[in-house]
Amino acid sequence: MKHLIDKLTCTHSLSEKELLYLLEHITKEDQNYLIDKAHEVRMKAYGDKVFLRGLLEFTNYCKNDCIYCGIRASNKNASRYRLSLEEILSACADGYHLGYRTFVLQGGEDPFFTDDKIVEIISSIKSKYPDCAITLSIGEKSKQSYKKYYDAGADRYLLRHETASKDLYESLHPTMSFENRHQCLQDLKDIGYQIGAGFMVGLPNQTNEDFVNDLMFLKELEPHMIGIGPFIPHKDTALSGKTSGTLDKTILLLAIIRLLLPNALLPATTALGSIDPLGREQGLKAGANVVMPNLSPLYVREKYMLYDGKICTGDESAHCRKCIEGRINKAGFSLDFSRGDHCNWRRI
């Protein structure tokens, strides 16, 4: 096993068979060795820096019906909201004063936000804060729409592939197409965005073979950012009562991803912090190098409830900033408030 981990560390690749063997047979001691290697590789690529991004959840309306998600269209118990342009700009102003130089605009797939509205939001933020990067995470759109957002100034786009196993994907997304999700990621890459893919860990019926598919898919796509986090059930979905993904497995996969793609921007996600009070710190020690504290106004925080037990729903942005700063320092890392672009990316 150590030989396999050394091979992964030196060559940044393993075959499907080797990855499966690693996932099936790794012991606690080997896992600690792998995490140490992931930490070394992260230190070589980015040093001890952790990039901070201000996250704005600006709408929880969604036309999709992903069966795991608390804001799925058919959840009639979700209390819906949309932020106005003024509310978005006010949250960005707070974020800018707190030091953030990246704003991540995330939401359900909400047709109310037409391309013109999204372009207006991007241009307004960019004209006030030209030194800031904008990341969008608003789901599947046409290539034309993606291009309009890019031309308006959006720099990055997060679109998790969710799972690279077609059957599993289709069982979780009854109204969506596996092929279209992949096409969207390719379109975003072709346009010139820094792209983010990623998946959930511990979905019902998900196997190590599925994780191997995810790892091979990521290695081939080479996204600039990779968001992975545990699946956590939501009480108003069909997966209510199912078991969450574990911290241990998520950390193992994070460390493998750091070794496969040394330069990737890897967030220690909110979901990781929600399944364990020190989950994000453990993620950072296993190779993660991004944290996305919440900048959304307090009065909507509890409504963007993707899963039960989401952390930081009652904390002011300034409190989140302070809390995360303490956690990052205590874990032995330093905060970086620059835009934090991927080292190989330039706007075209």
- Rounded Cα distance between 317 and 323, Å, is 10
- From the CB of 214, what's the least distance to ligand SAM, in Å? 12
- From the CB of 68, what's the least distance to ligand SAM, in Å? 4
- Closest to ligand SAM by CB, 5 or 267: 267
- Rounded Cα distance between 264 and 215, Å, is 13
Query: Taking the chain, what is the end-to-end CA distance rounded to the nearest angstrom?
Result: 42
- From the CB of 28, what's the least distance to ligand SAM, in Å? 25
- Closest to ligand SAM by CB, 41 or 138: 138
- Closest to ligand SAM by CB, 259 or 306: 306
Closest CA to 162 of 185, 144, 142: 185
- From the CB of 286, what's the least distance to ligand SAM, in Å? 18
- Closest to ligand SAM by CB, 56 or 71: 71
- Closest to ligand SAM by CB, 9 or 237: 237
- From the CB of 110, what's the least distance to ligand SAM, in Å? 9
- Closest to ligand SAM by CB, 33 or 68: 68
- Closest to ligand SAM by CB, 139 or 293: 139
- Closest to ligand SAM by CB, 4 or 67: 67
Closest CA to 53 of 264, 293, 313, 263: 293
Closest CA to 229 of 201, 204, 257, 209: 201
Taking a C-beta distance cutoff of 8 angstroms, is the pair 118, 149 a contact?
A: yes
Q: What angle do CA 211, 215, 220 make, to 5 degrees?
A: 145
Question: Which chain residues interact with ligand SAM by CB under 6 A?
Answer: 68-69, 71, 106, 108-109, 137-139, 159-160, 162, 200, 229, 231-232, 234, 271, 306-307
Cβ neighbours of residue 131 closer than 8 Å, sequence gap 6 or more: 101, 339
Cβ neighbours of residue 16 closer than 8 Å, sequence gap 6 or more: 212, 216
- Closest to ligand SAM by CB, 159 or 311: 159
Rg (CA), the chain: 19
